[in-house]
Amino acid sequence: MGSTSSQLDKDALSEYQELTFLTKQEIILAHERFSAMLPQEYKGATNIRLPMEKILEMPELKSNPFNKRICHVFSTSQPNDGSLTFEDFLDLLSAFSEAATMEIKSHYAFRIFDSDNDGTLGREDLEKMVTLLTGDSKDTSLNGEEMGQLINNILEESDIDKDGTVNLSEFQHVISRSPDFVSSFKIVL
Amino acid sequence: MSSGSEPLAVSSRGLSATKRHKSVRKNSRRIYSAYQDHQGSSEDEGKDDEGVDSNDPEEMFQNIQYQKEIIANIRTRPWPMRRKLRVLKQAREIVLKYEGQLTRTRGYQTAGADLLKKLYRLLNNIVVTFIPWEVRIKKIESHFGSGVASYFIFLRWLFGINIVLTIMTGAFVVLPELLAGAPFGTTRSKTIPKEHLPSAQDLDTIWSLGGYLQYSVLFYGYYGRVRKIGSAGYRLPLAYFLVGMAVFAYSFIILLRKMAKNSRLSLASASDENFTFCWRIFCAWDYLIGNPEAAECKGAAIVNNIREAIVEEQEKKKDTSLAVLISLRILANILVLLSLAGSIYIIYFVVDRSQKLEQEKPELTLWEKNEVSVVVSLITMIAPSAFELVAQLEMYHPRTSLRFQLARVLVLYLGNLYSLIIALLDKVNSMSSAVRGASGNWTESSSFLATVSQPETNGLSTQMSARPNITLATITTALNFSNNQQVHLGTVSNQTGPLEKSARSQQDQCWETYVGQEMLKLSIIDMIFTVASILLIDFIRGLVVRYLSDCCCWDLESKFPEYGEFKIAENVLHLIYNQGMIWMGAFFSPCLPAFNVLKLIGLMYLRSWAVLTCNVPHQQVFRASRSNNFYLAMLLFMLFLCMLPTIFAIARYRPSEHCGPFSGQEKIYDIISETVATDFPLWFSKVMSYVTSPVVVLPGLLLLFMLIYYLQSIARSLKFTNNQLRLQLQTERTEDKKKVFQLAAARLQAPEPAADENPDHQETDGTSKEASIHTTPSPRRNGSVTNFQSPGNRGNSIRTISQSASRTKLNRGTGSGSVRSPAVTIPKRRVEYIPNRPRPFIGGPSGTCRSKSCLHMAYNSPAHCSDSNQSEPLYRKTVRPLHPAEAPGIIAAQSYGGRRGHATRYVIINEHESRKKLLRSATRIPCHYVMEEPAEILELYPRNIRRYPTRTTHHQPHSYRSHTPQHLSKEEEEGEEERDKGRRKVSLGKTHRPRSLSDLHQQAQFYIGEGRNDNHAARYRVQEDDEEDNSKGDKDWVDLDFHSPAQVNRKSAEPGRSGHHLRYPRRPSQSPSRSRHLESHVKTKLRAKLETPLTESDSASAASSSDQQNSSTDQYIQVIHNKERPSKTKLDLNFTESQDLVCSKV
């Protein structure tokens, strides 16, 4: 907030530093990147929402299979259209930053994977996720049988209470054991 | 304040902005409770309020502390920014406002802390800018993912180590020698021999590190043997030795520390738990990848991985032990072993040959000089590829083959280094014997020289040993010898001729310098080969592939040459090998670390350039962080193995006679004993002699062994307990499930008796209520009742008791003053707080344990209470619901398998009906009920369940709990109101709060009157964001009905919010559009609409409820914590309340 056309004011900057895991340089860089994406006439205005399409043009997000989900998760817009304000953008970067804790990261990862937003990863969520990962094309995507087995295996491993879905704590349990989740769940500008 | 936060909380959710300016306090509470809803601890909230009101500095201080805690931890909350901003502002304001009221010192303290924090942040920011190559690495990271970046991070880390090593050797050895040591050309060890002088500046001499380079600070031989140099008396030899050792010590320490940190990060687990599939899916994507090509690669790799996993799973049972495969693998291993042996032999041979060549020829060609290092570098380059080819024979799983490959390459590198150093030491051996032989020969042949000097230089034993060598040595050293004599003739010396001569003959034979030269040469050649391979193999290949692919008959990019892959594992191994060389040679060539620093810088730039321009990431993903400790472990291994030869050489060989700081000593480490003997006070050497005597050393060793054994056994037992706990958790879970089914079955079987029991009990309760309003029935009684009611399920009953207790507590708390309003929010906060930090399975006490402790506390708390009247009826009421819950559970039992939320809901209905009929028939106003029921069906349950589920492992408790609140509220409203309104007014005002707390039947009333709904809606809108109703509700109970729905609404909103945080995903639409959602509830009087979202969430939460055991540990801990706190009476209430509430949630 309170940003002038090219610069964040000091208070906001320090507040953002307080509230995110980003360093000053990273916040400034993020701001530059964000305002570079703004159309000219809105430069300097506060609280502009960048539509999701614009955000997805960033190379950092462009090739990410979950990019739309990421935008939706971090968007605070009223009808959830995935558009981001600068603050949402900072939230995104903070969650994906190096310094963010495991809890935060796994929390957001869970939300990203939970495509129907029902609070658990059901079979459909998992299926969608795998399809996103593998892509839609014929030769890469898994057939029904493979998918079924894959999901069964996933549930077998992670669904501790055997209710057929993976909930957040189960998810975090699994994720926290993973050696490389924290290092790969990162986005740097 | 509100004006301050307004510009921040703009746009979307600003609808309530206008209604916000009540007062600073209220506002603060609002935001505050918004915070608590999600996390935070209840006692803090209580404190806060006390502090604000009571002006007690202690409490105020605690409040401020709490606010500061918020400020400190806010970034770890998964909230949207606006929310964080608001809470932060709020907390800051409170701190600012009340801090002034504290003592001055505290103000200063906090100001100082603030300043420090700011400075720290500034420093951090500065430090970040000085981290070398940060941007570069990030760029690579964002293109190629964390795997490739891990190589560069590792490189940077090595670079850091080498810088420290360079500073150590530079500051303590090289600089003093340069500044204070004897200048070049003054002593014999520092002058180039005459016969070498003409060629000393030739390029090939320099290239082979001879000439001027050989007689420079680069190598051991240059350092003077003078014990103290300069005016300050710097003990250079001692420093040299100590620094040499410190290099190893530092490397060890830094490595081990890093490893410990890494393993702490990776939780040191994952060994016995296997989440192959989950990891492959959940952690598959590397979010850093920003390059489309890399993304494609990664996508393909993921698909492969998944397919592989599936196939593996399918074929797990199939035994594919084919004879062919086995024989192939054996063959492959034989090949690898052969090549390893071959490479070792070649190195040994080359060293041997070079030694012979040196002795036979006066002038060596460039090739002959560099033969050794070139051959070694060639082997290190070619052999890994050969291994890779061989590995294809084996047809292992890619991961296994990668591991094999790594192990083989590591063995190869080690073999290379070892055979090299052994060959060198061998050469040293023969060199020193040759020297001795030469001098011995010389004494014999030239009898005119004083033999006095002989014993001095060689000692008796050497002469003895030299004798047999003489015949051999005469031939080999003939050349040297004649040279020496010439030199001797030429030199103008004040010293005795014989000494001079023998010294000269040995000066060339400074073996330490020789080893140092070899290592440095090896390092240089290795660097050249690396650069060449990058340029030729990667760059040229990349160019060819990119530009010739059009004019070629096959697709160069995807078929044969392709682009060079960036093989992370092998490159890392190469770095390790390189570092091993440095460690090996650092003692003999103090400038080796400095050279390595340069080399690493060059490598960094070249590699990063090559990676970005002409490499594709390796297909086999070598995971970054998993490998991190793997890299380090290999490095540690390398360090140890590289240290051995150096230590061996130091301990075994005699330092060269006429060069280096230790010349003239029997052994290099004698410098220590010499210093101790001469430069320390007598007592010190005495102490040292005691310490080093076997009397001390042996027990010390024993002690060490014992310690190691002890620590190991501790580690083992910890592991054991870990496993036990995990097992316990698992069994508990299954037991919970069993219990649920058992209960359901029990209900199905015996609904009748329970139903019979119900009325009785309720009646007694009713009478007792009427009769004794003043006497508080002890909670124990309730406890026993509950136990009786639900036999066979102790855990559950206990829980219910504690809950009822907490409820009463709450009542009291609210009743004692309007200030108490936060008490309502406490439980929520607590509730939500915990799940946010998962403490997975660490030392979680068993469920029964927890519930017991809760029970205990529940008992305690009532004892504190002052107005027992209020609590008394409540107890009874809370007890009652238990029956209905079990009795009419016919329906519940049926639906248990599915969604629990529904099931319980139905139960309620039944219960209510029965109760109504049995107990209240006479006094009730029927219409009241009629209205209520449907609403309850819809809403009560969801609410309660949503609230509790998170922390309960048992499903059953939900239903119990949910009953309790209902009854409470009902009776209070209906029974008590009618009987003695005058008194009840107060109590209602008080009880009102707990009701809202547990989301009681207000909800129901909410739907009763249609006309009211608008009111609710309006009110709701006000509150939905602000939660200001607390204070209001306390004051006007007339408004209660209207008011409470609003509260309920708020609550219903809160679970949504909280759910959003904890188990967020529950309702996507809710968090952003929470307000809308709720309003729609209020306005549309259609039940159906209301039902859907709520049940959704409710079932979701119910589903998720069962595995919150992790968090419950946390709760448990906190409960204890609360208890221990010293509390004043006012605070006490709040504390205990929180305890109870916590308990109820366990």
| pTM to 2 decimal places | 0.55
Q: For B1020-1055, what is each residue's pLDDT tens digit?
A: 443 444 444 444 444 444 333 444 444 444 444 444
Confidence at residue B566, expressed as pLDDT on a 0 to 100 scale: 77
Rounded mean pLDDT, B654-675: 80
Determine contact, residues B809/B861, Cβ cutoff 8 Å: yes
A172 interfaces chain B, CB cutoff of 8 Å: yes
Confidence at residue B509, expressed as pLDDT on a 0 to 100 scale: 67
B117 interfaces chain A, CB cutoff of 8 Å: no
* Same-domain status, A58 and A121: no
Closest CA to A93 of A30, A47, A50: A30
Q: For B210-228, what is each residue's pLDDT tens digit?
A: 777 888 888 888 888 777 7
Selected residue with higher pLDDT from B1139 and A112: A112
B150 interfaces chain A, CB cutoff of 8 Å: yes
Rounded mean pLDDT, B891-897: 39
Confidence at residue B562, expressed as pLDDT on a 0 to 100 scale: 66
Closest Cα in chain A to B14: A78
Residue A105 confidence (pLDDT) above 60: yes
* Same-domain status, A108 and A155: yes
Residue B281 confidence (pLDDT) above 70: yes
Rounded mean pLDDT, B126-142: 78
A189 domain residue, yes or no: no
B76 interfaces chain A, CB cutoff of 8 Å: yes
Q: How far is A103 from chain B (nearest CA, A)?
A: 7
* Same-domain status, A46 and A115: no
The whole domain housing A124 covers 102-184
Q: Residue A50 pairs with which residues in a beta bridge?
A: A84
Confidence at residue B249, expressed as pLDDT on a 0 to 100 scale: 93
Residue B1066 confidence (pLDDT) above 70: no
Confidence at residue B839, expressed as pLDDT on a 0 to 100 scale: 42
**A residues 67..106 contacting B (CB < 8 A):** 72, 74-80, 85, 87-88, 90-91, 94-96, 101, 103-104
Rounded mean pLDDT, B891-910: 38
Q: How far is B565 from chain A (nearest CA, A)?
A: 20
A109 domain residue, yes or no: yes
pLDDT band at B710 (very low <50, low <70, confident <90, very high): very high
Confidence at residue B597, expressed as pLDDT on a 0 to 100 scale: 93
Residue A100 confidence (pLDDT) above 80: yes
A64 domain residue, yes or no: yes
Residue B985 confidence (pLDDT) above 70: no
* Same-domain status, A115 and A164: yes
Please tell me which of the candidates A76, A104, A167 has its beta carbon nearest to residue B1103: A167
Q: For B295-309, what is each residue's pLDDT tens digit?
A: 777 777 777 777 767
Determine contact, residues B455/B675, Cβ cutoff 8 Å: no
Please tell me which of the candidates B80, B281, B1059 has its beta carbon nearest to residue A76: B80
pLDDT-above-90 percentage for chain A:
0
pLDDT band at B50 (very low <50, low <70, confident <90, very high): very low
pLDDT band at B561 (very low <50, low <70, confident <90, very high): low
- B590-599, B742-751, B802-811, B989-998: which is most confident: B590-599
Return all residues near B215 (Cβ < 8 A) that are at least 6 apart. Answer: B184, B189, B190, B191, B192, B221, B222
> In what helix (H) or strand (E) does residue B566 lie, and over which residues does it extend?
strand B564-566
* Same-domain status, A108 and A91: no
Residue B658 in tokens: 């006429």
Confidence at residue B450, expressed as pLDDT on a 0 to 100 scale: 36
**B residues 724..753 contacting A (CB < 8 A):** 733, 737
Closest CA to B309 of A66, A59, A152, A83: A152
Residue B182 confidence (pLDDT) above 70: yes
* Same-domain status, A9 and A49: yes
Closest Cα in chain B to A29: B135
* Same-domain status, A9 and A41: yes
Best residue in B1063, B1092, B1114 for a mutation probing chain A (most A CBs within 10 Å) = B1063
Residue B717 confidence (pLDDT) above 70: yes
Please tell me which of the candidates A25, A153, A169 has its beta carbon nearest to residue B277: A153
Confidence at residue B48, expressed as pLDDT on a 0 to 100 scale: 40
pLDDT-above-90 percentage for chain B:
5
Task: Report the alpha-carbon distance of residue B695 to residue B698 in Å, rounded.
Answer: 6
Task: Report the alpha-carbon distance of residue A128 to residue B1065 in Å, rounded.
Answer: 15
pLDDT-above-70 percentage for chain B:
47
Q: Tell me whether residues B1107 and A18 touch, CB distance under 8 A.
A: no
* Same-domain status, A110 and A177: yes
Three-class SS string for B483-537? Answer: HHHHHHHHCCCCCCHHHHHHHHHHHCCCHHHHHHHHHHHHHHHHHHHHHHHHHHH
Q: Tell me whether residues A63 and B623 touch, CB distance under 8 A.
A: no
Rounded mean pLDDT, B305-321: 66
Q: For B431-456, what is each residue's pLDDT tens digit?
A: 666 655 554 444 444 333 333 333 33
Residue B496 confidence (pLDDT) above 50: no
* Same-domain status, A141 and A169: yes
A18 domain residue, yes or no: yes
Residue B833 confidence (pLDDT) above 70: no
* Same-domain status, A117 and A67: no
- A178-182, B110-114, B270-274: which is most confident: B110-114
Residue B835 confidence (pLDDT) above 80: no
Residue B165 confidence (pLDDT) above 90: yes
Residue B282 confidence (pLDDT) above 50: yes
* Domain count across chain A: 2
Q: Tell me whether residues A169 and B840 touch, CB distance under 8 A.
A: yes
pLDDT band at B497 (very low <50, low <70, confident <90, very high): very low
Question: Exposure pattern of B108-122 as b/e (b: 16+ CB <10 Å)?
Answer: eebeeeeeeeeeeee
Selected residue with higher pLDDT from B350 and B293: B350
Q: Tell me whether residues B75 and A94 touch, CB distance under 8 A.
A: yes
ipTM: 0.83
Rounded mean pLDDT, B728-746: 76
Return all residues near B1093 (Cβ < 8 A) that are at least 6 apart. Answer: B1067, B1070, B1077, B1081
Task: Report the alpha-carbon distance of residue B470 to residue B472 in Å, rounded.
Answer: 5
Calculate the CA dihedral of residues B689, B691, B694, B700 and round it to 10 degrees: -170
User: Among B232-246, B304-318, B782-796, which is the least confidently predicted range?
Assistant: B782-796
Rounded mean pLDDT, B728-747: 76
Please tell me which of the candidates A88, A96, A120 has its beta carbon nearest to residue B287: A96
Please provide the average confidence, as pLDDT, over all residues in chain B.
61
DSSP class of residue B1116? H
Parallel, antiparallel, or unpaired: how do β-strands B564-566 and A166-167 relate? unpaired
Last residue of a domain, one of A68, A95, A122: A95
**B residues 373..412 contacting A (CB < 8 A):** none
* Same-domain status, A82 and A35: yes
Rounded mean pLDDT, B397-418: 79
Number of H helices, E strands in chain B: 49, 2
Last residue of a domain, one of A95, A120, A138: A95
**B residues 1050..1089 contacting A (CB < 8 A):** 1059, 1061-1069, 1072-1073, 1076
Best residue in A48, A180, A189 for a mutation probing chain B (most B CBs within 10 Å) = A180
pLDDT band at B83 (very low <50, low <70, confident <90, very high): confident
* Same-domain status, A85 and A28: yes
Selected residue with higher pLDDT from B831 and B524: B524
Last residue of a domain, one of A59, A78, A95: A95
Largest Cα span, chain B: 139
Q: In this structure, what CATH number is given to the domain that contains residue A83?
A: 1.10.238.10
**How many Cα atoms are found within 13 Å in the side-chain-facing hemisphere of B535?**
7
Task: Report the alpha-carbon distance of residue A20 to residue B53 in Å, rounded.
Answer: 33
Determine contact, residues B386/B339, Cβ cutoff 8 Å: yes
